[in-house]
Structure 1
Amino acid sequence: MHEIITLQLGQRSNYVATHFWNTQESYFTYSADQESLVDHDIHFRPGIGADGSETFTPRTLIYDLKGGFGTLKKINALYEIDEPAVSHGLWNGPAVVQRQEVIQQNAYQQSLEEGLEPPPLTTESVRYWSDFNRVYFHPRSIVQLNEYELNSSLMPFENWSLGEELFNSLDKEHDLLDRDLRSFAEEADHMQGIQVISGVDDAWGGFAARYMDRIRDEYGKTAVCVWGVEDSIKSIPREKRFTRLSNTARSISEIAPQASLFIPITVPTARVPSYVSMDTRSQWHVSALLATALESMTLPSRLKAQGRSRETIDQLINALNVNGNQNIAKLRMSTDQKEALNGNSRPGRLDVPTQDRDTRMPSQDRHSEEVHEDKEDEVSTFDMDFFPPESLEQNRGRRNIKKPHVFGQAESHRVPEDDTTNETTEQDEGFERARRRAAGLPIIQKSRTPLPFPLLDSFPHIFARTSSGSSLGVKTSLSTDTTVAARIKELQNIVNRAISVDEREALSNSLGEIAEAYEEGWDSGSDEDDD
């Protein structure tokens, strides 16, 4: 069934993943005359609930700190589990029980439980990612790490080494893969890959790096796609910026070489199109924008096969990693509001009517037109770039005038059904790839689907001229190009200034080797540097 297992590491990653799971839940259909384009078995697992009924829950592991789950309970309406009895040990004296104040559900969650129409969410009512969650999770998916507390000022979970130490201590005591991941992997008939969403600029980067070590020990040939979530450093005090960037450097150095695909993502800081209006201080808003791009880009990997083989994670990796050592990709996105459907048709069905398109809503940015009118053999341009920008003070005002060279680009277009013309055979694709590589041209892979992005009542109103219940035309891309080298070299310079001497040389050399793969003219098959 080509299952994909998801790992969610940290508060910011869980915000992004919650939007992702809410979107997957919206693709389900409940009548015989409706058929979904999405193969739900890829991301969801069947099970038996407490009352003996069949259940369908996400194939995911959710890691967060103490207090990070908000009102989400490990025991929910679908499952009842017996909590292990607490041993009193050798102490025979009286016990003193200290209880934390219970976090109250917001009105949105209360309405969902009661089966009522939920009120609109606001930035004030969303305090945790569970406040806008619409999905039931299996109890085994919930993993709370009690060693650290969310937003603690006494023991902040910020330094990369803290995450590394935490994973090592937990793994030594429990064997995390055996306790958490293995049961999900053994349920899969034919696992397509593992999707990891993790923070990389704080302690979660160290936790993810050591988790990747264990994954590679056990599942060496499995495709692992890592989405590295970074916070914007514009709002961070100067003294903490070097810590964040040093954490990112260590994460890239240790996670990227082990990942099949590594995608660093952050909120766009340079230019945001006029149709996007969001509060950058709200994780609910920021994660919604990131999740729109992530969910749209990965959509082809969970679609039902329609007359040809399903586009898998391996095919995406093959399109981007042109020279065999280029697995760090840039995520971009555009939305085309004139291709957004109104709320009269539920997204996710094969019977989406193209006449429901609202042609009165023109694109508000010229780049959207460029994407719509691009030619098959040209690299498309996009409105938003989620790749972290250069951040050193001495680089401000300096712009690379030279146009970056693109090695490989994979695009996912959510377009009307009459535009989904993608009838190429595997032989044609192989010939075209060989021709373009021989000519030094970018390798381009394009996917089209008539399934628009649904705007749910759990999704904030960050896109202009849209409302809950409507849907949006979205076009995304992942690409490997020469600007990746500039980013890695910048982090290398930070390492040379901010990292202690005993770690500096190895980390700097590791980043330098990674950057070389993204310099124009580099080719794994070249013998120009053999002397």
Structure 2
Amino acid sequence: MHEIITISVSQRANHLTTQFFNCQEEALPNTDPKDSVDPSIYLNPTIDQVSRTVSYAPRALLWEAKNGFGSLGQYQYIPDTQDYHFTENAQNPTDVNVITTQSPIERSEYQKALDFNPYELPPLTIHNTKYWSDYAKLIFGPKSFNSLQNWYHKVDSPNKPDYQNLGQSDFNTFEQGVQEFDECKDDFFDTNLRLMLEQADTLQGVNLVTDLDSGWGGFSSQLIQELRDELPKSTFFTFGFNEPDMFSGSKQSNNITRNKIKSTLQLREDSDLFFPLFADIEHLSNWKIGGQNCRLLDTVASVIAQRNMNQRRSMDHLVQCLSDDDQLRNVITSMYDTNVDYDYSYHPRVIQWEKTSRKIEDYHEFAYCLINRTGSDEIAIGEEEEENKPSKHKDIRELFTTKFKPSDTIPAEYTEKELKSIKMITSEKSRDVFKNWNMYVSRMFKLDEDREELKDETSNLASAYETGYYDDEDSGDDDI
């Protein structure tokens, strides 16, 4: 086995992770050797020798603000929200002072139905999916849950926790995340991560899912640095959510762009592949964003976990396909779902650096990977293949994997059309992103100690994603 641990950081990231593991649960009954996944890659099996049954728990570590787990507690399901203070010489419960620290969060109707009547589950809507735990199907292990020390979840603004629940300061800067991580890291690495690693025979890598535009970005940047030191031989894929900003046509605060730049640069450096997801917060809830992007995450994951060994590929194979061993070009520009005409990436939405009429398809393509989700590649592995007919598998960048079997928790609009294939590309379009960021750093990071370092890094990345001759001039001069 080559297990993969999923580390999910933030409320939005946990919605995506929950949708992914719900799909893993949906796939458990399928044991077709040519069109199913090995559940032990992403799930930890526990065998009951008496009843001769097996149960599965996600190989996942989830980070949340306090109260962000909803009705799920560390030991499933409802956390105890009372403090018990025993009086001196207390002999029975009547001598105990009970102080309620917060109102308990009621379990969702969907969760109740899973326990008592799983054949008649209530429909999910944006109103009953405020928490990812409202529709999580698999039971996470008690050491999967990790909580911030100083920040509390807000139902009306779930992606920006509140400091000490005072309603005065949001978790919205890179530096806040860095500081918070320093206060949280010891228990995580000494206890929870250690236990997760002990449950894996041969760890292949880590999927990190996070937000980039808030304090979660700074938190994740520190987290992945520590993980790299802890797991130097593992492969890291980072899936980072980008909210709309000034470069994608939205009027958002400067903090969003500042956090996005710092978080992306640090996470990209410590990742083998970086997936810049787009979070359409102006039109979709976290539940819908998770269901939408699950099509991509599940596709990447299925290539690595499928039972068909003729088609299974490692995380390192995907790294080779998409970066050609160029560490500067490990950011995937485009992640295109061919059947629904949708790109999951933030990069194609960024305005062009040069004022030209070039379209996305006109940008130079450095590398790509096409993942087909039509089941087994019969031409490549079937006996009917003609002796002299070229095999599709001779192109190492064209991969085949299992059919997508979505969970019923994914919104209907993302399951109506079959998922046929996803093409991932690293292209010249990413140059626009890093050129814009270089200009922004030059203009807006006047007092930042790392300003020159960030300018150099964005400039180097822009150069890595360009080809041919350019006659443009940087407008990010210091005197502007």
Q: Is residue 471 of structure 2 the alignment partner of residue 516 of structure 1? A: no
Which of 418, 421, 426 is residue 480 of structure 1 equivalent to?
426
By how many angstroms is 1:18 displaced? 0.8
Q: Which residue of structure 2 aligns with residue 21 of structure 1?
A: 21
Q: Is residue 437 of structure 2 the alignment partner of residue 491 of structure 1? A: yes
User: Against the structure 1 CA distance between its residues 266 and 309, is the aligned structure 2 distance closer, same or farther, given a 3 Å change threshold?
Assistant: closer
User: Against the structure 1 CA distance between its residues 56 and 385, is the aligned structure 2 distance closer, same or farther, given a 3 Å change threshold?
Assistant: closer
Deviations 1:255-304 (A, max 9, x none): 111111111110479xxxxxxxxx82311112211111221133110111
Which of 104, 107, 111 is residue 106 of structure 2 equivalent to?
104
User: Against the structure 1 CA distance between its residues 312 and 76, is the aligned structure 2 distance closer, same or farther, given a 3 Å change threshold?
Assistant: same
Deviations 1:378-431 (A, max 9, x none): xxxx64352334556x9698653581111111111111557664689xxx99x9
Q: Which residue of structure 1 aligns with residue 158 of structure 2?
A: none
Matches within 5 A, 1:163-178: 163-171=177-185, 174=186, 176-178=188-190
Letter in 2 for 1:109: Q
CA distance in structure 2 between the aligned counterparts of 1:154 and 1:225, rounded to whole angstroms: 35
Q: Which residue of structure 1 aligns with residue 364 of structure 2?
A: 405
By how many angstroms is 1:138 displaced? 0.7
By how many angstroms is 1:48 displaced? 6.5
Letter in 2 for 1:477: K
By how many angstroms is 1:476 displaced? 0.9
Verify the 8 A CA contact 2:9 2:209 in the aligned structure 1.
Answer: yes
Q: Is residue 207 of structure 2 the alignment partner of residue 195 of structure 1? A: yes
Letter in 1 for 2:39: H
Deviations 1:105-153 (A, max 9, x none): 2221111121341111111111111112111111111112241012334
Verify the 8 A CA contact 2:245 2:251 in the aligned structure 1.
Answer: no
Q: Which residue of structure 2 aligns with residue 285 of structure 1?
A: 288
Q: Which residue of structure 2 aligns with residue 160 of structure 1?
A: 174
Q: Is residue 15 of structure 2 the alignment partner of residue 3 of structure 1? A: no
Verify the 8 A CA contact 2:110 2:121 in the aligned structure 1.
Answer: yes
CA distance in structure 2 between the aligned counterparts of 1:332 and 1:309, rounded to whole angstroms: 21
Letter in 2 for 1:321: S
- Report how many aligned residue pairs link the two structures: 440
Letter in 2 for 1:478: M
CA distance in structure 2 between the aligned counterparts of 1:68 and 1:235, rounded to whole angstroms: 30
Which of 406, 409, 422 is residue 458 of structure 1 equivalent to?
409
Letter in 2 for 1:42: I
- SS in structure 2 at match of 1:314: helix
By how many angstroms is 1:335 displaced? 5.3
Matches within 5 A, 1:104-143: 104-116=106-118, 117-143=120-146
Matches within 5 A, 1:34-183: 37-47=36-46, 54-76=54-76, 97-116=99-118, 117-151=120-154, 152=162, 153-171=167-185, 174=186, 176-183=188-195
CA distance in structure 2 between the aligned counterparts of 1:55 and 1:455, rounded to whole angstroms: 20
By how many angstroms is 1:321 displaced? 1.3
User: Against the structure 1 CA distance between its residues 401 and 240, is the aligned structure 2 distance closer, same or farther, given a 3 Å change threshold?
Assistant: closer
Matches within 5 A, 1:257-336: 257-267=269-279, 280-306=283-309, 308=310, 310-325=312-327, 326-334=329-337, 336=339
- SS in structure 2 at match of 1:472: coil
- SS in structure 2 at match of 1:76: coil
Verify the 8 A CA contact 2:338 2:421 in the aligned structure 1.
Answer: yes
User: Against the structure 1 CA distance between its residues 411 and 113, is the aligned structure 2 distance closer, same or farther, given a 3 Å change threshold?
Assistant: same
CA distance in structure 2 between the aligned counterparts of 1:415 and 1:253, rounded to whole angstroms: 35
Verify the 8 A CA contact 2:337 2:423 in the aligned structure 1.
Answer: no
CA distance in structure 1 between the aligned counterparts of 2:399 and 2:107, rounded to whole angstroms: 41
Deviations 1:54-108 (A, max 9, x none): 531111101110121111222138xx9999x9899xxxxx977243122222221
Verify the 8 A CA contact 2:85 2:98 in the aligned structure 1.
Answer: no
Give the percent of matched residue pairs that are identical in Structure 1 and Structure 2.
25
Q: Which residue of structure 1 aligns with residue 399 of structure 2?
A: 447
CA distance in structure 2 between the aligned counterparts of 1:234 and 1:280, rounded to whole angstroms: 17
Verify the 8 A CA contact 1:488 1:514 in the aligned structure 2.
Answer: yes
Letter in 1 for 2:336: M
CA distance in structure 2 between the aligned counterparts of 1:422 and 1:520, rounded to whole angstroms: 38
- SS in structure 2 at match of 1:8: strand
- SS in structure 1 at match of 2:146: strand
User: Against the structure 1 CA distance between its residues 180 and 416, is the aligned structure 2 distance closer, same or farther, given a 3 Å change threshold?
Assistant: closer
CA distance in structure 2 between the aligned counterparts of 1:239 and 1:287, rounded to whole angstroms: 23
Matches within 5 A, 1:412-451: 412-415=371-374, 417=376, 421=380, 445-449=397-401, 451=402
CA distance in structure 1 between the aligned counterparts of 2:112 and 2:357, rounded to whole angstroms: 50
Gaps of 5+ in 2: 87-95, 155-161, 470-480
Q: Which residue of structure 1 aligns with residue 451 of structure 2?
A: 504
Verify the 8 A CA contact 2:275 2:345 in the aligned structure 1.
Answer: no
Letter in 2 for 1:457: D
By how many angstroms is 1:211 displaced? 0.9
CA distance in structure 2 between the aligned counterparts of 1:146 and 1:115, rounded to whole angstroms: 37
User: Against the structure 1 CA distance between its residues 166 and 76, is the aligned structure 2 distance closer, same or farther, given a 3 Å change threshold?
Assistant: same
By how many angstroms is 1:486 displaced? 1.4
By how many angstroms is 1:233 displaced? 3.4
Letter in 1 for 2:134: D
Gaps of 5+ in 1: 89-93, 270-278, 337-367, 369-381, 434-443, 523-531
Letter in 2 for 1:110: K
Verify the 8 A CA contact 1:422 1:447 in the aligned structure 2.
Answer: no
CA-based RMSD of the aligned residues comes to: 3.9
CA distance in structure 2 between the aligned counterparts of 1:389 and 1:241, rounded to whole angstroms: 21
